[in-house]
Amino acid sequence: MLDVLRYFERVTRPVDPLTKEMMSNRWSELPDKVRTRSQAIGRHGVGCEGTHGVFPRCNFACSPCYHSASANRVRTDGEHTISEVAKQMSFLERVRGPRAHAQLIGGEVSLLEPEDHARAIQVMRSHGREPMSMTHGDFSYEYLLRFAVDEEGKRRFKRVSFAAHFDTTMVGRKGMRVPEREIDLYEHRREFAKMFQRLKKEHGVRYFLAHNMTVTPSNVGQIKDVLKDCQSSGYNMFSFQPAAFIGNEKRWKEDYREFSGDEVWRQIENAIGTHLTYSMVQVGDVRCNRTAWGYFVGDRWYSVFDEDDPDDELARDAFYSYLGGVHFNAPPLLLALRLTRVILTNPTIVRVGLAWLVRRVKKAGGLSSIVGKKIVPMTFVMHSFMDASQVMPAWELLERGVWSEDPEILATQERLKACSYAMAHPEMNRVVPACVQHSVFDPQENVVLESLLPLPKRVVKTGVLHTDEAEARGA
């Protein structure tokens, strides 16, 4: 009986002790300038994670592409994917704690057999990760069904998460091989979300969908078309990534520094019709990430926290203090027990939470203005990657323990130290920032994988042997 009580006490702890330790470690690693009251890393989590080298190949030809030129000369192999995902996730669990959000990213994930895709997700979850599959979205409902439901008709997952990339920099989509305008992809975005709505209706599989867009000088003025009717689109996050000079140099088609992140953010705000607060919750360095958490009431967007409201600042601080590190995707009963312990030991949070809720209702115009309207959680994000020409020297100096005297390289070093997106290298017993992975490690990694997993050969009428279709597209 005593053992049972001890077990109950342990599993209902609001935050795992190891999670607390890892968050504390991550906080201590951050540069002083980002250790602010609004910083989420180290106070609510350790940041996001992603896979690398697990399926580098893609069947699209995008400009730009952040993968090295050799990526598409690597065969997609399910067993390799499962093995590498297991190694990386096991290492991340050991060095970053028992819980984190992680992306299953390559390459194009739907080039995996759906069953192998599902196995990879299950491996990630077995290591305490909340996985999200990153895709160009050009796959069928049949693929999604085989991924989410087994041969006996039993669902593999209660909930799945996907991030789909749609924009005019992408070449190869069925029915829209070379899109000229963002508005031309409107129905493709909708049809992707409808597959998940159907999956939920027919098999009870819940979902979270994010939408990604690479922003270039050619499409920055079309962000409004991407966000058209976004509150009813089926997505709960829209992420915008200003293009950077990183990856395959042959895919660099424009001057990606013609516009600033401020311009991208203005375009998002103009499309939504309101100011998007990103100073209240900071994720890493604001030069890398801007995040606006909020929700739609009808067709109007509201922020979770208002930057000009001191009471909202206190509410945010209370969230970090009392709920930072809580695993909100835990099973409902377990989450309820954990939250009950939080309330019993910190009853102040009830008063703070109710006051916050009252402010949110008033902000939306009162109960009468909310009743009958659909409330849709919606997050807007901008991720600004750095150019390889800055990342490589910055990383080299960091490896030597040297801070640059060059202002641009120094800024790059600061951003790398505050990076919120890490990738695992168990063979080197370390994690590295994603920009470092793409700028420094990907090229050499893909050369090795090209030898390990060569593309199959095919015979054409001339009798000459050629590699598979990706060779022509990937170079």
Per-residue pLDDT of the chain (475 residues; tens, 9 = 90+): 888 888 889 999 999 999 999 999 999 999 999 999 999 999 999 999 999 999 999 999 999 988 877 888 999 999 999 999 999 999 999 999 999 999 999 999 999 999 999 999 999 999 999 999 999 999 999 999 999 999 999 999 999 999 999 999 999 999 999 999 999 999 999 999 999 999 999 999 999 999 999 999 999 999 999 999 999 999 999 999 999 998 888 888 888 989 999 999 999 999 999 999 999 999 999 999 999 999 999 999 999 999 999 999 999 999 999 999 999 999 999 999 999 999 999 999 999 999 999 999 999 999 999 999 999 999 999 999 999 999 999 999 999 999 999 999 999 999 999 999 999 999 999 999 999 999 999 999 999 999 999 998 765 555 444 444 444 444 4
Specify whether the CB–CB gap between 240 and 382 falls below 8 A.
yes
Instruction: Note the helical H segments in 346-458.
Output: 348-363, 367-370, 388-399, 407-417, 434-436, 442-452
**pLDDT at residue 274, rounded to an integer:** 97
> For residue 146, which amino acid is it?
R
Q: What are phi and psi of 253, to 5 degrees?
A: -105, -15
The second-level CATH assignment, the architecture, of 14-325+374-462 is Alpha-Beta Barrel (3.20)
Q: List the beta bridge partners of residue 377.
A: 295
Q: Is 98 helix (H, G, I), strand (E, B) or coil?
A: coil
Helix (H, G, I), strand (E, B) or coil at 7: helix
Token code pair at residue 122: 């299950």
Is the Cα dihedral 365, 369, 371, 376 positive or negative?
negative
Query: Please, where are the H alpha helices in 364-441?
Result: 367-370, 388-399, 407-417, 434-436
Return the residue matching tokens 């009808």.
298
31 — phi, psi (to 5°)?
A: -60, 150
Whole-angstrom distance, CA of residue 446 vs CA of residue 465: 22
Ramachandran region, residue 404 (left: φ > 0; alpha: ψ -120 to 50; beta: rest): beta
Whose tokens are 């409201």? That residue is 309
Contact 280, 312 (CB under 8 A): yes
- How confident is the model at residue 466, as a pLDDT? 40
Residue from 105, 111, 156, 99 nearest 138 by CA: 111
Cβ neighbours for 268, distance < 8 A, ≥ 6 positions apart: 223, 227, 238, 240, 276, 380, 382
Cβ–Cβ under 8 Å, residues 262 and 403: no
* Diameter of the chain measured on Cα atoms: 78
pLDDT of residue 307: 95
Contact (Cβ atoms closer than 8 angstroms) between residue 421 and residue 49: yes
Alpha carbons 39 and 68: distance in angstroms, whole number: 33
- C-alpha triplet 123, 128, 133: angle, nearest 5°: 55
Q: Which residues pair with 378 in a beta bridge?
A: 294
